[in-house]
Structure 1
C-alpha cells in the first residue's frame, strides 16, 4: 500500500537506488571524518557513520519494491 502511494506521488525505483548508493558514500565520508576528530568525540562520530550505514539496504529494498510495481 505504501509503495503504491509512493509511486502515485512520483517516486520511482531509480530514485531509491541512487539514494542507497549515495548513503554508502555518505557513510564512508562520515567514517573517514571520524578518524580526524578528537579522541573524546570519535565514538560519537563512528556511531553516526555506522547508523548511516544501515540505510542502504532499506533504501535499496524500497527501490526494488517500486520496480516490481512499475
Structure 2
C-alpha cells in the first residue's frame, strides 16, 4: 500500500500535514458538537475522539512513506554508482589521490 501511495505521488509531508489537520479537525468537531447538538458533552467527546484517532494513522503513514522515499533515493544512488555515466556495469574502484 505504501509503495502504491508513493507511486501516486503522495509524499510523507502530505501525511504529516493530514495528521496535523486531523488534530485541528478533532478540536473543531468537538467544539461544534458541544455547542450545536443537544446530545451533550459525552457525544462531543466521542466525535472529538473519533476524528482524533486519525492523527496517529496519518503520522504512521508519513513515517512509512519517509522510509520508502529514503529507500528509493538510496537505491537510485547505488544504481548510479554501479553503472556510472556510461550505463555499463563497472567493477572498478576509484581511489581519490592514489591513481588506482
Same fold at TM > 0.5: yes
Give 2:22's aligned residue: 23
Q: Distance in 1 between matches of 2:10 and 2:36?
A: 37
1:37 Cα deviation after fit: 2.8
Matched residue SS, 2:60: helix
Aligned equivalents of 1:21, 1:37: Cα separation in 2: 24
Please give the alpha-carbon distance, in whole angstroms, between the structure 1 residues aligned to 2:37 and 2:3: 46
Structural RMSD (CA): 1.4
Give the structure 2 partner of residue 56 of structure 1: 55
Higher helix share: 1
Q: Looking at CA atoms only, which structure, 1 or 2, has the larger radius of gyration?
A: 2
Q: Any unmatched runs of 5+ in structure 2?
A: 70-100
How many residues are paired up?
68
What is the 5 A alignment of 1:1-70? 2-39=1-38, 41-42=39-40, 43-70=42-69
Q: Give the C-alpha shift of residue 45 in structure 1.
A: 3.6
TM-score relative to the length of structure 2: 0.62
